[in-house]
Amino acid sequence: MTVTALLSFVFLFSALSAKSQYGLEIGFNGGVSYYMGDINYARQFYHPRHNIGASVKFHFSNRIDLRIGYFNSILTGKDADFNNVFQQVRNKSFSVTLNELSVQAEINFLPYLYGDVARNSFTPYLQVGVAGSFIGRTANDEDFFTMALPFGVGFKKNILPRLVLSIEWAFRWTFSDMIDGITNESIKKDYELAYGYPLTEDINRKQLGFRYTNDWYSVALVGISYTFKIGGLGCPAYYKKHQK
C-alpha cells in the first residue's frame, strides 16, 4: 500500500512539473501533538505536547503542492486520566518521543497565487500523504519505526508577497499498535477486581488492548514560510497598488 502511494505521488507530480513549476517554499511550524489509542479512545487534544518542525514545498500549480516535512514531538497518556473502572485498575501509562518525516500533497480548494496579496491570496486545503515515524522510549532497545498515513485540512494566506501564514489540523493513522505499549493483553488477572463479575471463558477471550486497532496521533500547527523563485512574481509595489 505504501509503495503504491509513493509511486502515485511520483507519477502525479512528475506530470504536473512538466507542465508548469511555480517555485519553492521553505517554512517553519509549531503547535501541539496528541495521542489516541488503547488508553485514549476518542478525546481530542488529550495531553497536547510541543510540536516543532520545518517543511519544503514545491509548487506545481495553483491547485497542488508537494510538501516534504519534519517535526519533533512527544506523545503521552495514562489510564489514571479516565474514569473507566477497568482503566483505573489496569493503570497503564507511557511517554515517547516522536520524530516524523513525511511526504504529502496539498490540494487547494481555491485557485491560489503564490506571491500575490491582492487576489487569489488564500485558500483552504486538503493534505494527504505518507510518513515515517521514529518512536523513542526510555530504553533504547524499545525504540522502533512505523509508517503512518497523514490526512487533514488547513488554511493558508499570503500576508506579504513572499510570506505565507498557515494553520492546519491533521491526523496520522499508524501501522503500529505499540506506541502506547498496549496490545492484545489477557484480562484474566484484573477483570474480577475491576467489575466484580466472575471470569467466564467468554470474557477470558477478551483483552486489555485492541489488537486489531492501530494507534493514532494528531497535530495542530501554525506555520510561517518564505516563497521564492516564483515565475511571474513582480515588484511588491504592484501588489500594494492593487490592494487599494
Dihedral pair phi/psi, residue 9, rounded to 5°: -60, -45
CB atoms within 10 A of CB 214: 17
* Of residues 135, 145, 177, 154, the one with CA closest to residue 55: 154
Measured distance CA(53)–CA(26) in Å, rounded:
11
Looking at the whole model, is its pTM more than 0.85? no
What is the percent of the chain where pLDDT is above 70?
Answer: 71
- SS3 of 132-143: EEEEECCCHHHC
Kindly state the percentage of the chain with pLDDT values over 90.
50
DSSP string, 182-227: --S-B-TTTHHHHH-----HHHHT-BSS-TTS--EEEEEEEEEEEE
- pLDDT exceeds cutoff 90 at 170: yes
Which of the pair, 118 or 24, is modelled with greater confidence? Answer: 24
Average model confidence (pLDDT) for the chain?
80
- Examine the pLDDT at 25 and tell me if it is beyond 50: yes
Distance of CA 85 to the CA centre of its chain: 31
Higher per-residue confidence, 222 vs 16: 222
The full DSSP string for 173-191 is EES-S-SSS--S-B-TTTH
- Residue (of 148, 131, 126) closest to 37 by Cα position: 148
Q: Which domain holds residue 114?
A: 2-243
Q: Is 202 helix (H, G, I), strand (E, B) or coil?
A: helix
> Does residue 13 register a pLDDT over 60?
no
Total of domains in the chain: 1
Which pLDDT belongs to residue 145? 94
Q: Return the pLDDT at 89.
A: 74
pLDDT at 156 exceeding the cut of 70: yes
Assess whether pLDDT exceeds 70 at residue 124.
yes
CATH of the domain at 94: 2.40.160.20
88-99 pLDDT per residue, tens: 777 889 999 999
Using alpha carbons only, give the angle 90, 72, 180 rounded to the nearest 5 degrees: 15
- Chain centroid to CA 112: 23
**Whole-angstrom Cα distance, residue 39 to residue 198?**
24
pLDDT tens by residue, 207-222:
455 555 789 999 999 9
Average the pLDDT over each of 14-23, 56-65, 87-96, 178-187 and give the range with the smallest value: 14-23
Q: pLDDT at residue 234 above 50?
A: no
Taking CA atoms, 29 is separated from 47, 70, 161, 194, 242, in Å, by 19, 10, 19, 44, 30
